[in-house]
Structures are given as structure tokens and as C-alpha cells.
């Protein structure tokens, strides 16, 4: 159990049987009445964000979390197989647990796996990944880097807006948090 007075950003809590991650918290002491803690929590399963207020000193259930690097090996139907970088154990994970991160994971790529109480909660790709362009419209003569953008489908199936000079076969660097093109590699 942890007191609301000792909350920290990134902490994982169990409230009403559901796992929540603390995105933001603020301890408020009004001039009149008791102190309280205003929080913004993200549901780990669904990704929904809610704002919740707790009384100061209220006890909440803390969840022990562990974050470790893993290497993506291959996909077999709905399961993705990862290898623990320390023990070399292969761990299968359903695609729904991996979520949107599946579009930024390539074979041999490293990801961070977050587990809470021994159960895999989320898979986070690195902040930037280099992916090949598998399909895009051809650039026209006279297109410049400052012109405009066009959609490009990357090797993992993710669609990103890229500059007009990018062609099929080019390698591009993508920000996984915002799904934005960064540079050609």
C-alpha cells in the first residue's frame, strides 16, 4: 500500500481491480478544508486517461513493475515472439498486448517490455526507428524538400506523411510517439 502523499509520475497503481499509471499529480492544500491530491491516470489496458481526486493520506494499492529490454524475433499468427536479452528465454505475446507498437517493431529490433506483478502490461518501441518505404507515389520533377508531403507505407504497414522526394526503397527515421517522419537515413 502506498499513501497518496507519496505518489510519483510513472507509478503504477491498482484501483478497483484495474491497473493505472500516474501521468500527473498535484498536492492541493486549500485555505479551508482538508488537503487532497489531484491526479491524471492512464488505464494500462485501454489507454484511457481519467482525472481523479483523492484525499491526502488515502492508501492505494501499489503494483510492483519491472521494465526490461527484449528483442523481437518473429510473428506467428496472432502471437509475437520476443527474447529476453538477459536469460535468452523466448516469450510469446498476443498482438493486442503489443498494441500500436507492432507497427514500429522489426525483426531483431529491441523493445522495452513493462510487466506488473509478472504479467506483461505493455510493449514500448524505441523513440525513433528506421524503416524502409515499401509503397509511395513517385515524386515529380521539380519537387523540393520544402514542397509538400505525401503518404508512404512503410515495411511494417504503418502509413506516414513524408516529403515529396522520398521514393520506394528509401530508409526513413520515424518518431514512434507521434508517427511523424524525421529524416531520410
Backbone φ and ψ of 97, nearest 5°: -70, -40
71-92 pLDDT, tens digit per residue, is 999 988 888 899 988 888 888 8
The confidence score (pLDDT) of residue 11 equals 83
9-41 pLDDT, tens digit per residue, is 878 888 888 888 888 899 999 988 889 999 999
127-153 pLDDT, tens digit per residue, is 899 999 999 888 766 656 566 788 999
Please give the model's pTM, rounded to 2 decimal places: 0.68
Instruction: Give the domains, in start order, of the chain with CATH numbers.
Output: 2-62 (2.30.30.30), 65-124 (2.40.50.140), 128-184 (2.40.50.140)
Amino acid at each position: 500500500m502506498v499513501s497518496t502523499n507519496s505518489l510519483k509520475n510513472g507509478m503504477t497503481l491498482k484501483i478497483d481491480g484495474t491497473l493505472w499509471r500516474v501521468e500527473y499529480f498535484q498536492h492541493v492544500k486549500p485555505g479551508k478544508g482538508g488537503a487532497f491530491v489531484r491526479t491524471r491516470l492512464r488505464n494500462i489496458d485501454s489507454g484511457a486517461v481519467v482525472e481523479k481526486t483523492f484525499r491526502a493520506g488515502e492508501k492505494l494499492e501499489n503494483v510492483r513493475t519491472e521494465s526490461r529490454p527484449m528483442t523481437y524475433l518473429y510473428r506467428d499468427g496472432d502471437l509475437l515472439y520476443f527474447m529476453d536479452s538477459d536469460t535468452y528465454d523466448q516469450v510469446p505475446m498476443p498482438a493486442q498486448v503489443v498494441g500500436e507498437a507492432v507497427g514500429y517493431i522489426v525483426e531483431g529490433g529491441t523493445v522495452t517490455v513493462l510487466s506488473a506483478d509478472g504479467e506483461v502490461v505493455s510493449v514500448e518501441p524505441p523513440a525513433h526507428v528506421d524503416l524502409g518505404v515499401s509503397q509511395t507515389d513517385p515524386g515529380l520533377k521539380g519537387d523540393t524538400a520544402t514542397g509538400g508531403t505525401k503518404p508512404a507505407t512503410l515495411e511494417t504497414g504503418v502509413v506516414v506523411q513524408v516529403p515529396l522526394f522520398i521514393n520506394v526503397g528509401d530508409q526513413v527515421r520515424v518518431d514512434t510517439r507521434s508517427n511523424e517522419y524525421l529524416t531520410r537515413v
